[in-house]
Structure 1
């Protein structure tokens, strides 16, 4: 058995190597400190935006609703009521945008706590949450199938994803179109589908729809007002739950959004 090495006889680390290692450690420490500082700045910014934008917007919405409803008596000229309604609707759009931007920032790098969730109540909640988007004769249909197992999901996250997908499908459906919700179980997963009968989109344009604020040139993105944040919020929420979101489409054949969740 060879004798143990004597630490006293071990070769000394060259001073240059020690200096280089120290410099590398210092750079890594500064990088970690800088990243922590950026995260704190982002949180502070989100808190500021949440208060400084939401507070006046809530006042605009509240007082415009009071004026439009003529709670304190008639306004006189009918145009005043019309203008108050325009203010209210514009305020609602801006508040929705603020909430979506804040949601994008909140979800980045977050892991949501998941537990057993049922599919049917989530489908029903999504259709109810998107009720205001079913206009022009567009309607929804939940396709019933065999009994499904519970899935691992965050209850808020699952309903948020499905509501956004149903809203998106309703917005891009043709007049009297149908939004379909269905689910299929496979090998430890459950796939949830939200389908529409819209114009569809070229497969090469699908990745663009997943990027925040991306408007692109396709009618799927341009035809309806919005900042293009609904699908990115769905993608981030799915990641935070350990789920997967995939889009598929062909021009003229609508869009299919598939959310894959692990069986509980």
Structure 2
């Protein structure tokens, strides 16, 4: 502490910038070292599953290759989430805030989640034909919406509905994403929003995964100058209430 107090403001700024760059460099290295072998596992297991170079022989081999591929995908998703939280906590992500149309962002997100949505038989209902634009980061906005919608699809009932609405409220845009699932006890909500502290909640008991999607969405939203709140939805389910700055005129 005493040593830090002797530093001038420019010196502290240079030190902080150096530390931030070291964090970014370390995370790039970890990301590469983790993703490279995982991509190999996914690629080769996919070749085996498709029997690209001829039949494998016993039918069990193809089944096992499929299990390896599915397990690799789950592990890659978890690795990506842990690295995303590390980047957010370490301020190793740079956000370029600009006017971002919600329509385009939502279209990209739903396209990326098409497999999960189809597997659950979920119907997505958007309340307005033209959604307002927000002042946000291109990647950050899509990351946040992906995590929130993936959570709503995973924890809503099979064949259920997810409602999405957005409206301009002064200098902000309010986005509501609501599922029709069993909901959660309001006392559990703070744990759902805290990285690595979810424990055995109603959500983590009913589905696979480490429960990191909502903390990532919350941290990303705050990094873009917004806020995310969870609340029990009227009539059942869980409601994500997102508030972001509206696009600048």
Give the TM interval when normalised to the shorter protein.
0.7 to 0.9
What does the per-residue CA deviation read over 1:50-98, in whole Å, with 9 as the maximum and x for residues that have no partner? Answer: 1221111111111101111001100111100000000011111111111
Corresponding residue number in structure 2 for 1:84? 65
Deviation at 1:214, TM superposition (A): 2.6
Unaligned stretches of 5+ residues in structure 2? none
CA distance in 2, matches of 1:56, 1:27: 41
CA distance in 1, matches of 2:62, 2:21: 44
Check if 1:140 corresponds to 2:124.
yes
What does the per-residue CA deviation read over 1:130-172, in whole Å, with 9 as the maximum and x for residues that have no partner? Answer: 1121223222111116x55432111211111111111100000
How many residue pairs match? The answer is 240
Q: 2:30 aligns with which of 44, 49, 64?
A: 49
Range moving further from structure 2, 49-58 or 195-204: 49-58
* TM-score scaled by length of structure 2: 0.87
Range moving further from structure 2, 98-107 or 196-205: 98-107
Unaligned stretches of 5+ residues in structure 1? 1-22
Equivalent position SS for 1:199: coil
CA distance in 2, matches of 1:38, 1:158: 26
Equivalent position SS for 1:45: helix
Corresponding residue number in structure 2 for 1:65? 46
**1:124–1:37 CA distance, 2 compared to 1 (3 A):** closer
* TM-score scaled by length of structure 1: 0.82
Corresponding residue number in structure 2 for 1:214? 197
Deviation at 1:263, TM superposition (A): 1.6
Deviation at 1:222, TM superposition (A): 2.0
Corresponding residue number in structure 2 for 1:93? 74
Q: 2:95 aligns with which of 109, 112, 127?
A: 112
Q: 2:5 aligns with which of 21, 25, 28?
A: 28
CA distance in 2, matches of 1:38, 1:113: 21
Corresponding residue number in structure 2 for 1:152? 135
